[in-house]
Structure 1
Amino acid sequence: MMSNAATDPRSLMLRPVALADLPALERIAAASEHGISSLPNDSAKLRLRIERSLEAFASMDDASGEETYLFVLEDRARGEVVGTSGIAASAGFHDRFYSYRNEFVVHASSQLGVSRRLHTLHLCHDLTGYTLLTSFYIAPDYSSGLAPQLLSRARLLFILLFAERFNDRIAAESPGLADAAGQSPFWDAVGRRFFAMDYPQAEAVTGGRSKAFIADLMPHSPIYVPLLPEAAQWAIGQLHPVGELPFSILQDEGFDADTYIDIFDGGPTVEASLGLLRTVKHARQLSLQADEGAPGAAQDWHLVVTGERASFRAVLAEIAQTAHGLPPGHEVRERLGLGDDAGARLLVSPLRPSALELERV
């Protein structure tokens, strides 16, 4: 695979997964570390995941909430899939979606004149029903530059375009600390006490990130963090190194990472309102009939998305912040296969909002 330095962002396209992508997904699932990807390292299960995604993209019925959408990032210059990302329409559709909620309680004695503020973890299903961002993976050679931005942020514009299918509250789990063998200090101190399995075994049994029946075996009383081993305390809210890139993108979007952690490995679970996220706040619709705006205006990198659900496509393009549209013959129209289709929806959002846009917030 070529180095990212030679990658032209214009060659990248995010699109719905297809059955022909199965070999690429098999490679990605095999390359993912323990507990990091929600893609199962099993060919039959991957095929089923693709088929369910195809059904979700193509369905004309009202959304039920059980839909899962899987996207692939393709380097079209090489005809190669270099990343995946996904959306689960409703977290915990079949089972409650469990997390630990960070809280602090105060214990005080007036006689002793002592007051202590203690960190506690409360098992909860506050995030049940939230729309969940899943399955982020980017090939190492593409992890710098703009490819991860397209892979992560374009999902938010998909949710915005088809908002009737999703919750306006969005969450995403990030992988917590685990060693090369997949052992997690948080799991060893908490989950393993009540579910006699190593972390990789528990991940395999639950089929990825479904945790309801494990939560049923966990204590529902608060866990006092100072009573945990030091390694487990340190692991709370900490990221596995491979999770740092997608996590940083979500933080930049405006997700809150302080309230919830994963019940498996203690990694941070972020959440936010869709309308407050940066990509959504600064999104605007472009006409396919209007011009590009003032000649010579500065060009900035934008996410550009179009299409109905099954034909959704997202690319990166340099467009003026003041542009009102893309005229016929514009190279972005060609890349998106729009041609002279003046009726297509075209939504764009800058990767870095201009000062003028920031003043409007």
Structure 2
Amino acid sequence: MLVLRPVELTDLPQLQQLARDSLVGVTSLPDDSERLRSRILESCASLDKDVEKHGPENYFFVLEDLTARRLVGCSEVLATAGFNEPFYSLRNRHFTSASRELNIEHGVPALSLCHDLNGHTLLRGFHIDDDLVRTEFSELLSRARLLFIAAHSQRFADVVITEIVGYSSDEGQSPFWDAVGKHFFDLPYTEAERLCGLESRTFLAELMPQYPIYVPMLPQAAQDCIGRIHPDGQEAFDILEREGFETNSYIDLFDGGPTLYARTSNVLTIAQSLTATAQAVSSIDARGRYLVSNDALKGYRAIVAELDYQAGHPVGLSADMCRALNVTDGSPIRLIDL
């Protein structure tokens, strides 16, 4: 059985292996033991805090194969993007110029460095083993974060965003970076992303051009990357699009990947998740497949389970399910159908 739970310090060696296997552009998962250790400790401290409103907290989850005692994925929720330092992105909007004498008005798309997305909750760090891609466990890894938000809504903002990794070649070449960022840093795309993972994007963003970049002046290959998703990032995009997330006018300042946006209260898993109580049973006449979580904080757990859910009645869980979720008879649980 696979279970999603908060990361622990003992996960560090396996977490670093996940970092080595992760997609270039997932800067929140750096292949560096000290940085990962810091991220784990930050998550543990966040879960220990008594929080009344969203702040700098970061919640780091891992997907564990309980039988093999092996981590097979990870994902994160940053409660407030831009809380400690600006969260930079590029705003892609039309710049309109006009000539009254010639009676001409012309709109040109332009990219402007901004931190408009400060204050929103940020989903990040999604990575899953290749053999689990496009399975229900990808849904678990992504959407169980939303069940956590539903259970602890005071810890999160009214808007949730996520950046989807933009296009780069198998050789690690990003046409967007080569046309924009590389002119300001003599670094290849992969090295710039690595530095962002180890440090932060702020020191790089502050050296980016402060004036609008007119899109038609970029090479066509770079223009084609604006809002384009890396093939390995498509699943993360698809899951959240089904949740009601939409693209907006913001893109990643390094690879041009799209940003997804949703009002927290409108996200499907948050708005439509159901609450019930657990009941240990010896057998289940399953009628559907669900994502199921407890409503704990430090002891948060979530699994995929085939259940017989009936509104107003306890939900029968097998002994293995109860152990995985760390619940007993009468414990509150939360579920959403797959």
What TM-score do you get using the length of structure 2 for normalisation? 0.91
Taking the TM superposition and a 5 Å limit, the aligned residue runs for 1:1-361 are 11-60=1-50, 65-109=55-99, 112=102, 114-207=104-197, 210-288=200-278, 299-320=287-308, 322-326=310-314, 330-331=318-319, 332-340=321-329, 342=330, 344-351=331-338
Deviates more, 1:52-61 or 1:264-273: 52-61
Change (3 A) 1:209 1:264: farther
Change (3 A) 1:118 1:256: same
Question: Within 2, Cα distance between the matches of 1:208 and 1:322?
Answer: 48
8 A contact 1:173–1:268 mirrored in 2:
yes
Question: Within 1, Cα distance between the matches of 2:312 and 2:129?
Answer: 34
8 A contact 1:68–1:87 mirrored in 2:
yes
Question: Within 1, Cα distance between the matches of 2:128 and 2:220?
Answer: 32
Q: Give me the identity figure in percent.
A: 42
Question: Within 1, Cα distance between the matches of 2:335 and 2:158?
Answer: 20
Change (3 A) 1:185 1:197: same
Deviation above 6 Å: which 4+ runs of structure 1? none
Question: Within 2, Cα distance between the matches of 1:107 and 1:283?
Answer: 48
| Structure 1 unaligned spans of 5+ | 1-10, 352-361
Query: What letter corresponds to residue 269 of structure 1 in structure 2?
Result: T
Change (3 A) 1:63 1:275: closer
Cα offset, 1:248, TM superposition? 0.8
Cα offset, 1:335, TM superposition? 3.8
Change (3 A) 1:79 1:326: farther
* Partner secondary structure for residue 206 of structure 1: helix
8 A contact 1:38–1:209 mirrored in 2:
no
8 A contact 1:89–1:165 mirrored in 2:
yes
Question: Within 2, Cα distance between the matches of 1:61 and 1:14?
Answer: 22
Question: Within 2, Cα distance between the matches of 1:42 and 1:188?
Answer: 25
Cα offset, 1:61, TM superposition? 5.7
Aligned residues: 335
| Structure 2 unaligned spans of 5+ | none
Query: What letter corresponds to residue 346 of structure 1 in structure 2?
Result: I
1:154-196 deviations in Å (ceiling 9; x for gaps): 1011112111111121111111111234231111111222233
Question: Within 2, Cα distance between the matches of 1:207 and 1:290?
Answer: 43
RMSD: 2.4
Question: Within 2, Cα distance between the matches of 1:328 and 1:319?
Answer: 7
* Partner secondary structure for residue 287 of structure 1: strand
8 A contact 2:56–2:79 mirrored in 1:
yes
Change (3 A) 1:182 1:328: closer
Change (3 A) 1:209 1:247: farther
Question: Within 2, Cα distance between the matches of 1:196 and 1:111?
Answer: 44
Question: Within 1, Cα distance between the matches of 2:42 and 2:100?
Answer: 60
What TM-score do you get using the length of structure 1 for normalisation? 0.85
